[in-house]
Amino acid sequence: MNVARINMCHGTREWHKRVIERVRRLNEEKGYAVAIMMDTEGSEIHMGDLGGAPSVKDGEVWTLSVRAYDGNRPERTITVNYDGFAEDVQVGDELLVDGGMVRFEVIEKIGPDVKCMCTDPGLLLPRANLTFWRDGSLRGYFYFQDWLDIDFGIAESVDFIAVSFVKSADVINHLKSYIAARSSDIAVIAKIESIDSLKNLEEIIEASDGAMVARGDLGAQIPLEQVPAAQQRIVEVCRQLNKPVIVASQLLESMIEYPTPTRAEVADVSEAVRQRSDALMLSGESAMGQFPDKALTVLRSVSVRIEKWWRDGKHHEAMELPAVGSSFSDRISEEICTSAAKMGKSPFHHEIAMLFH
């Protein structure tokens, strides 16, 4: 991998600090150049630890609460990490769990408890994010904790800060001014994951140092069949403005549980490379998956293979199979040498394709 992403939605700053220290120690000892990206929590609300992954059925009523339970929680009760949750939501709001994998409708508010009816069943994963909609738009806010996390990132000299749920260029400009005022040059990446982001896409990307196609949350806000076109548009705008672009979310989702990907996932990775995105990012596959090393190997091998096929101008021909006996490491060495030579001749030699972890 080329970049290690730390997600401030999970873990503590002390834990993340240890990860940063380990990455940098390996860089020094092994001669690697793995960068650090810090992903802010943004407007996300998160559910608490559920002690498993309970199944929610259509029409079931669950309680979302900000209460701190000392003992066992009541049945069908979920804790949330935002104290103002009960005040902010309204009856009739739609709640999306984990980017829309499960959906609820708010039917009643009783003090710190919010009663919700399931309208789209599924599994509730621990610490899944929770967003709520009203009148067709995402409701969002910024935590004070975000600024504490940003101060942490500046203190640790991370290389990138990824900003969640960016709605306009003002958010990016404000953050970049804040960073510059602290004598730091951390690059700011805008996560494109809302309708507002798409509406103001050009100005957001122009203000940013790069963009991330966060397909999970984006797919919860626009019709699923529009996600591929939105991804292509974001990649094209980034290339027109000479800004790096990352494609993220569910690239190899099945490898969270299985050692090999589906053929559809391989095709998805291939399409992202063919669109000329600069980076591909793993999320759950490496954060909580059972086969993180295999997932990264698959992502790398597919990307390198498709990139070579496309770069050599053979995309109108059938792809030839690798020679018998050729090793993966041999092909990687060849790729590095070829890429270095072509980058030296290219006017855009600073655009380097990266795999994100």
The CATH number of residue 168's host domain is: 3.20.20.60
**Per-residue confidence band for 335, with pLDDT thresholds at 50, 70 and 90:** low
**What distance in Å separates the CA atoms of residue 357 and residue 354, rounded to the nearest whole number?**
10
The secondary structure of residue 225, as a DSSP letter, is G
Provide φ and ψ at 217, rounded to 5°.
Answer: -70, -35
pLDDT tens digit sequence for 11-61: 889 999 999 999 999 999 999 999 999 998 765 677 877 767 788 999 999
| pLDDT value for 137 | 52
pLDDT for 329 beyond 60: no
Which structural domain, as residue segments, surrounds residue 74? 46-136
The model's pTM is 0.70
| pLDDT value for 352 | 36
**Helix pair 144-155, 13-30: axis angle to 10 deg:** 30
The CATH number of residue 92's host domain is: 2.40.33.10
Contacts of 249 (CB under 8 A, 6+ apart): 99, 213, 214, 215, 216, 217, 218, 219, 281, 283
**Per-residue confidence band for 248, with pLDDT thresholds at 50, 70 and 90:** very high
Q: Are residues 166 and 260 in the same domain?
A: yes
Can you tell me the mean pLDDT for 215-235?
Answer: 88
Q: Are residues 233 and 167 in the same domain?
A: yes
pLDDT tens digit sequence for 249-271: 899 999 999 999 999 999 999 99
Q: Which of 97, 114, 136 is the last residue of a domain?
A: 136
